[in-house]
Amino acid sequence: MLASPSIQAAFRYKASTTTNISNISTGKLAETLLAIPPLPEQEWIVARLEELLSDLEAGVRSLERVWAGVKRYKASVLKAACEGKLFESRGVETSENGLPEGWKIAKIGSIFNVKIGSTPSRSKPEYWNGNIHWVSSGEVRNLRIKTTRELITDKGLGSRTKLCPPGTVLLAMIGEGKTRGQTAILDIEAATNQNIAAILPNETETVPEWVFYWLISRYEETRKSGVGGMQYALNSERVRNFDIPLPPLEEQRRIVAEVERRLESARAVEAAAEAGLKRAARLRQSMLKKAFEGKLS
């Protein structure tokens, strides 16, 4: 009963707030009016509510299994793609390194230019709110970047922060939570902060999305490459020393196209599961509200 929306709303109304903490005194709590139906009706409401909530929780668990299954599927697609096993039915010949014939392995730094950005001084307002996109590491979240939270000026760009062209692949090097090891790909020209390694595959005969999806596939391994201290971190030298598999250019394009087709289908299922979970949360609140208003059927 105390968890019902109407009672919770009454508690919030009576609560006082000090230093961002809401609390309610025992006196005000004692003054709160509760609607108490006759005992037989209470028993029926409780039984009916438990029945409905049990069915709802079963549906939620099913949606959560779908969500987890999609996550595993996406990981398996990327793993197969980066190991040359996405089209296993064609009977691929493998070389000594276990990859398909024609693939090679190279150090990122030996084939791609890797840039490290910087953060213009926050004490100089003339460096900020310009028209140049500037990416912080918190915006690197396994996605395509089409805009940025902050903009800098030509003065803010300065000599240390360089612009990166569209197609640049970004790798977050610092972050205790999920950030470190996440990646992004630029759809716009942008500068970055010093906690991001900007890899420029578009200066070579490499599909940028190949590097992007390969980095996503090795997220956990990348995180383990960080060094300790106050905050686990990668550094530019470690990023340059990553070994990346490289299929021939046309095969990169074919694999990327197939990966994107499969991931798009997975995202549609994921979105449907997410919408279902949100509807379930709203329905739970609606059931509780009806129960304590005597409107449950």
Q: Where are the domains of the chain?
A: 35-103+248-297, 104-246
The dihedral formed by the CA atoms of 257, 258, 261 and 262, expressed in degrees to the nearest 10: -150
Rg (CA), the chain: 27
* pLDDT score of 240: 96
- Residue 38 to residues 44, 71, 262: CA-CA distances in angstroms? 10, 48, 56
Amino acid identity of residue 92, one-letter, is V
CATH topology of domain 104-246: Adenine-n6-DNA-methyltransferase TaqI; Chain A, domain 2 (3.90.220)
* Structure tokens given for 14: 């009576």
* pLDDT score of 160: 72
Q: Is residue 293 over pLDDT 90?
A: no
Closest listed residue to residue 254, CA positions, set 84, 108, 60, 124 = 84
d(CA 153, CA 240): 29
* pLDDT score of 49: 82
* pLDDT score of 286: 87
Kindly report whether the global pTM for this prediction surpasses the value 0.85.
Answer: no
Contact between 97 and 133 under an 8 Å Cβ cutoff? The reply is: no
Mean pLDDT lowest among 22-26, 62-66, 187-191, 274-278: 22-26
- Residue 124 to residues 129, 153, 214: CA-CA distances in angstroms? 11, 11, 38
Measured at the CA of 154, the angle between CA 150 and CA 159, to 5 degrees, comes to 105
Report, at the CATH architecture level, how domain 35-103+248-297 is classified.
Answer: Orthogonal Bundle (1.10)
Mean pLDDT lowest among 28-37, 82-91, 121-130, 144-153: 28-37
